[in-house]
Amino acid sequence: MSSTQEGFIPYRPDRVPPDEMVARAERFHAHMDRRRTVRFFSPDPVPRAAIEHCIRTASSAPSGAHRQPWHFVAVQDPNLKHRIRLAAEEEEARNYAGRMPPEWVKALEPFGTDANKEYLDVCPWLIAIFAQNRGPEGKNYYVTESVGIAAGMLIAALHDAGLATLTHTPSPMKFLKDVLERPSGERAYLLLGVGYPGSECVVPDISRKPLAEVASFR
């Protein structure tokens, strides 16, 4: 590919020297390692501008054929949040009452989860992420991968802004599409509760897998 190919522009970010590279990577890990998923939120308001910037970051994610096959619905309207809560709780009640196999319910025990989703009312913001299997240009590519990467970047951006998140995957979550009136060609992918942790917030006492378990170097 020639460097003067039409449709291409130079990309020459400042080169980070190795020492600084390692220091930056270490600092970022220390910062991200403080992120915890929380289930107890403060109702304190969070500025819309912060949510907007974080969604811009998410939407900078790489995507198949640069289709950016995602849509984020940021919900602060208390009535909409409550409708989402009621619908999610209805599905989750069925999940905990038998739709999830006993082995799954047991795996969740350490996290103290149940069908009660009070945080969906309490969080100042809910962000529903939709995946677009089809868009204006036709079929999209690697939609699940692309939206997963964008969701991860959104969680990182929110953490960096000082916000806690709860990654909620109510199942099935078709109701989100109905409540939020999303068009055909889209499917609900993830629901994030966003806000400050509540003053009484506790999180499970868990640790993360060490590097040697999650990575190999060959």
At closest approach, how far in Å is the CB of 50 from ligand IYR?
25
Which stretch in 44-52, 137-145, 151-159, 165-173 sits in contact with ligand IYR by CB under 6 A? 165-173
169 binds ligand IYR (CB under 6 A): yes
60 binds ligand IYR (CB under 6 A): no
User: Residue 83 and residue 147: Cα distance in Å, rounded?
Assistant: 25
Q: Which residue type sits at 14?
A: D
Beta bridge mates, 186: 132
Residue 96: CB atoms within 10 Å: 15
89 binds ligand IYR (CB under 6 A): no
Which stretch in 43-51, 65-73, 134-142, 168-176 sits in contact with ligand IYR by CB under 6 A? 168-176
Q: Which residue type sits at 156?
A: A
Residue 171: CB atoms within 10 Å: 13
Q: What are the φ/ψ torsions at residue 138 (nearest 5 degrees)?
A: 105, -150
Which of positions 38-57 make contact with ligand IYR (CB under 6 A)? none
116 binds ligand IYR (CB under 6 A): no
Closest CA to 49 of 125, 100, 102, 145: 125
22 binds ligand IYR (CB under 6 A): no
Contacts of residue 49, defined as CB under 8 A and 6 or more positions apart, other chains included, come to none
At closest approach, how far in Å is the CB of 132 from ligand IYR?
23
Q: Considering just the CA atoms, what is the radius of gyration of the chain in Å?
A: 20
The nearer residue to ligand IYR, 67 or 81, going by C-beta atoms, is 81
The nearer residue to ligand IYR, 94 or 159, going by C-beta atoms, is 94
92 binds ligand IYR (CB under 6 A): yes
24, 16 contact by CB (below 8 A): yes
Residues binding ligand IYR: number (CB under 6 A): 8
- Chain residues in the site for ligand IYR (CB under 6 A): 92, 95, 108, 113, 168-171
